[in-house]
Structure 1
Amino acid sequence: MSAPLLSWLYLVLAGLLEVAWAVGLKLSRGLDLTARPVHTVLTVSAMAASVILLGLAARHLPIGTAYAIWVGIGAAGTAIAGMMLFDEPATLARIAAIAVIVVGVVGLKLAS
Structure 2
Amino acid sequence: MNWIFLIIAGLFEVAFASCLGKMKETTGNTAIIWGAGFLICLSISMLLLLKATQTLPIGTAYAVWTGIGAVGTVLVGILVFNEPASFWRIIFITTLICSIIGLKAVSSH
The two structures have a TM-score, normalised by structure 1, of 0.90
Task: Note if 1:13 corresponds to 2:13.
Answer: no
1:61 corresponds in structure 2 to 56
Contact preservation (8 Å) 1:28, 1:40: yes
Gaps of 5+ in 2: none
2:84 to 89, 103, 106: 89
1:26 corresponds in structure 2 to 21
Root-mean-square deviation (Å): 1.7
**In structure 1, C-alpha distance between the alignment counterparts of 2:28 and 2:69, rounded to whole Å:** 24
Structure 1 residue 35 displacement after superposition: 5.4
Structure 1 residue 37 displacement after superposition: 1.2
Gaps of 5+ in 1: 1-5
The size of the alignment, in residue pairs, is 107
Structure 1 residue 106 displacement after superposition: 0.1
Structure 1 residue 24 displacement after superposition: 0.5
The two structures have a TM-score, normalised by structure 2, of 0.92
Percent identity over the alignment is: 39
1:47 corresponds in structure 2 to 42
Mark the CA change 1:13 to 1:88 in structure 2 (over 3 Å): closer, same or farther.
same
